[in-house]
Structure 1
Amino acid sequence: MPGTQEMMIILLIAVLLFGANKIPKLARSTGQAMGEFQKGREEVEQELEEIKDGTGSSGSASTDDVATDVDATETTAETTETTDR
């Protein structure tokens, strides 16, 4: 853990590099990015837990649903081609 002198030197370097006006904006954006990262991590952990428990995601389509959708699309396309002739 850096001591008081080391923290003062780091702060001085930050002020020289970014300017005093930009440091609060930089800190705010860093905090927002960390919050978004944590939210994303929690969502992934929740999804993995659901998969592990066998409940799965309620919004995901099963393989049968996808196959039915593909068949309906192909039938619609064939009907359209027939009526265009």
Structure 2
Amino acid sequence: MNTIVLFISGPEIVVIMLIVVMVFGADKIPEIARGLGKGMRQIKDATNDIKQEIKDSSENVGVDTKSITKDINKEISSVKEDIDDLTGPVKRRF
């Protein structure tokens, strides 16, 4: 499962949770969480359906997805190496 990192630390999450409790009230939080969970599940299911449809279509046409994926990963690795070469010893530190 892929996750998105939002660069939110522990104290920031606590502040956000306090604001949510103050705005919606403690009794509404389970309903909101259920609604968000259902929405995320629907998005995940729709994404999986689209992926499966693309995979089925490519197999029907005779496209070799493994070789295409390998080529794309090779290009991505190449770009990452180029970026690392450009940045060199200079790295951001937060």
- TM-score normalised by structure 1 residue count: 0.58
Detail structure 1 runs of 4+ shifted over 3 Å in the superposition.
none
Offset at residue 45 of structure 1 (A): 0.8
Higher relative CO (CA 8 A, sep ≥ 6), structure 1 or 2? 1
Offset at residue 4 of structure 1 (A): 2.8
The aligned length equals: 55
C-alpha distance in 1 between matches for 2:10 and 2:45? 33
> What is the Cα-based RMSD across aligned positions, in Å?
1.4
Offset at residue 6 of structure 1 (A): 1.6
Supply the AA of the counterpart residue of 2:20. Answer: A
Which residues of 2 match residues 9-24 of structure 1 at below 5 A? 9-24=15-30
Which residues of 2 match residues 1-85 of structure 1 at below 5 A? 1-54=7-60
Supply the AA of the counterpart residue of 1:3. Answer: S
C-alpha distance in 1 between matches for 2:44 and 2:10? 29
Q: Which has the larger radius of gyration?
A: 1
Unpaired segments of 5 or more residues in structure 1? 56-85
C-alpha distance in 2 between matches for 1:32 and 1:39? 10
- Comparing both structures, which one devotes a greater share of its residues to helix? 1
